[in-house]
Amino acid sequence: MEKYMLPCLHKKLFGFDCPGCGGQRALVMLLHGDLTEAFFMYPAIYPLVLLGLSILVNLISPFKYYGKMVSSLTIISIATIVISYIFKQFIL
């Protein structure tokens, strides 16, 4: 699976990570059961997985508070991506 990963075009062109760098590797780590390594690779992996699962569950069986939950998970995901990107680029 690792040999089929897409390279980051942003990193190749500009020489530094984009906000999504590490997402594919974190998903592979998560699928292999490396939960802590996946978090340290890409901290937004867990809110994004929860967001994706909630969207899939709603497609199968719609539920009442879907809109609020998706909005909250989207805000949490975006905030996690931005904070971890800033931390990775400017603090580490």
In a domain, 60, yes or no: yes
Predicted local distance difference test score (pLDDT) of residue 6: 80
Number of domains in the chain: 1
In a domain, 56, yes or no: yes
Band (56; pLDDT cuts 50, 70, 90): very high
What is the domain extent for residue 59? 44-84
In a domain, 55, yes or no: yes
In a domain, 62, yes or no: yes
In a domain, 58, yes or no: yes
In a domain, 51, yes or no: yes
- The closest of 76, 87, 85, 70 to 47, measured between CA atoms, is 76
In a domain, 57, yes or no: yes
Q: The whole model's pTM is what?
A: 0.83
More confident residue, 43 or 17: 43
> Which residue blocks in 1-92 are alpha helix, DSSP H?
9-14, 23-32, 35-41, 45-60, 66-86
In a domain, 4, yes or no: no
